[in-house]
Each structure stands twice: as structure tokens, then as C-alpha cells.
Chains A and B, each alone.
Chain A
Amino acid sequence: MKCDRNLINKFLDGEISSNRKSRVKEHIENCAQCCRYYNEIAKITSVLRDAGKPNPPAGVFLRVKRNITPHKAFLLRARFALTAGAVLTLFLAVTGVFSPNGANAELDYYIESQLDALFGEGLRSELTVYEQNWQTQIEILLEEGEL
């Protein structure tokens, strides 16, 4: 049998078949070079194993928690904003301030023209997009049973 360091490593790791094991063992015992190599690697692995496992420092979990809490707080705020948006939309629909069928067309026109005069037309179209997005989000949350 030839000297084979990979085989010695496998032998050390116990990753060798039992019939081959005795041949490798016999070689190590009779080859001065391989015997030295085996003992040195075995010594190193035992030094590393005996170095022990230190305990993690205290207080890290609290820091981790603090770091992920803003994420949770943001989700709660977002959920609150969506709920408030839903309530507001429902209120406006029930009171008929915004009427899809045009029953209060004059009032709608008056509110829209006042908003345009105050903030420009761009804002109103943005608000419409936000309202649509809210409605989509609300539907998703309702479907998932979150609301």
C-alpha cells in the first residue's frame, strides 16, 4: 500500500470501509512518515476539539429584538393607516359625498374644483390612485382575514 495522506484523513474521520480500515491501520503502524503525519493531524484535531465552546455574550437577543421591532411597528402603523382609510372610504360612500352614480354630481364637482384650486389637478389624480391602491390593499387583507 502506498502512502496516501487523503486516506489517512479519511481514516481519522472514520470515513473508510471496515475491510480497508485494517489495511490503512497496518500501513500507518509500519510507515514512520505516515505514522508521524497521523499523530500530528490527530493531535491538531484534538487540540481544536478541546478548545471548548464559549458562551455567547449577554444582551445580544435584546439588541436583536430592538433592531427588528421598528419593522413590526411599521407594519402595525401601515395596518392602522389602511383600516383608517377603509373607514373613511366607507363613511364617504355611506354619506354620499362621493357618489359613483352621480347623484351628488354638483357637490362632487364643487369639492373637486375647490381641491384643484387649492392644490392643483395633480393632487386629485394622485388621491384617486391612492384610493384605488387602498381599496386593493383592503381587499387583500380582507381575503387573508387580517381585517
Chain B
Amino acid sequence: MITKSDIKKAASGDEAAMEKIYQYYSAFVWNVALKTCLNRDVAADALQEVFIKVFKKLGSFRFYSSLKTWIYRITVNTTLNLIKKEKRREGLELDCTRLKARSGEPDLESKQTAQELLGTLDPEDRILIVMREMEGMSYKEIAASSKMTLSSVKTRIYRAREKMRTAYDKR
């Protein structure tokens, strides 16, 4: 649990507090970045960039929203901007083999299928699906993190599911 005091300490440069915040949120940022970028190197850049922004801007965090929503919003913006900036979309989506080669868990097939399904979506829809289906976030949380209305989040997620279903049928 991250307290207000942890946030204030981290904002003033306390490394232990910064590490606590990193440990608490890095799994989420990494999961969202990796599954949206579908490329480990770009996702690692996103992870690093998100936390650099978080710690540099923490001094201006005014507690209007929760730290969680604030970090989620930075994650969404940074990840999508990085994908646009890299302009390597084709490369990103073809990088699934590398992700596969690194995994050694028994549910490899499920992982591969998930990567294939996510690969059929645009990054903007993919990040919504990752937050909803893989991170279990509520539609309200997703709307706050992506600065979209609740109804457009739902519509886009339903459409993305439909798109993945069509791709799944064709397998």
C-alpha cells in the first residue's frame, strides 16, 4: 500500500520511497506496455520512461486523482506515444516469436494465442483490452486512465472483442 507520506517522500527524492512506488506499480506498467507494444525492447523503454516521468512529475501531483489512476494515465500515454514514435508497427506485431522463445511456462499455447489475438487490434484498442481482460480493471478505471467517456470505452472494448472473435474463428 502506498501512503500519502510515501508519495511526498518520493517527490522530495527519497530513494526508498521511490523504490516502494516502483515495486508496487511496475508489474502493471510492464504488463500493459509489453502486451500493447508486443515487443520487449519497446516495452522496456516504455517502463523506464513511465517511471522517469512519474518521479520527475511527482512534485506536481496534487492528489486530485489517485496515484494509481495518475500512473495508469501516464502508462497509457507513454506506451501509445512510444508506439507511434517508433513507427515500427509491423515489426512490433511480428515480434511474437521472440516473446514465445522466452517463455517456458506450461500454458505457452494460451500465451501464444493471446499474443495473436492482441496482434489483430490497433494499439489504442489493444491497451483497453489489456487493461480490461488482463489487468481486470473496471470500465470506470479504464475511462479515467485513458481520458475517454465510459460509453466509448465500453463500445471500443465490445468492438475489439468482436474483432478478436473473427480472428479466432479463422484460425
Contact = CB atoms under 8 A, between A and B. Distances in A.
Judge: A and B partners, yes or no: yes
Contacts of B34: 54
Interface string B7-39: 000000101001100100011011100110000
B161 A51 contact: no
B149 interface: no
Q: List 9 A-B pairs, minimum CB-CB distance, nearest first.
A: A51-B114, A56-B30, A48-B133, A64-B51, A56-B26, A9-B158, A50-B110, A61-B22, A53-B31
Nearest to B110: A50
Given A40-B169, A43-B168, A61-B19, A56 B13 contact: no
A60 B47 contact: yes
A10 to B, nearest CB: 8
Interface of A: 5-6, 9, 13, 15, 37, 40-41, 43-45, 47-57, 60-61, 63-65, 67-68, 71-72
A67 B48 contact: yes
B165 interface: yes
B149 to A, nearest CB: 16
Interface of B: 13, 15, 18-19, 22, 26-27, 29-31, 34-35, 40, 44, 47-48, 51-52, 55-56, 105, 107, 110-111, 113-115, 117-118, 129, 133-134, 136, 139, 154, 157-158, 161-162, 164-165, 168-169
Interface of A is mostly: helix
Contact of B134 (A43, A48, A67): A48
A12 to B, nearest CB: 9
Contacts, number: 90
A5 B31 contact: no
Given A54-B31, A55-B27, A57-B40, 4 more contacts: A50-B107, A51-B114, A63-B48, A64-B22
A37 B165 contact: yes
Nearest to B26: A56
A71 B31 contact: no
Contacts of A71: 56
B44 A53 contact: no
A5 B162 contact: yes
Given A56-B30, A57-B44, A44 B168 contact: yes
A47 B110 contact: yes
A13 B55 CA distance: 35
B113 A47 contact: yes
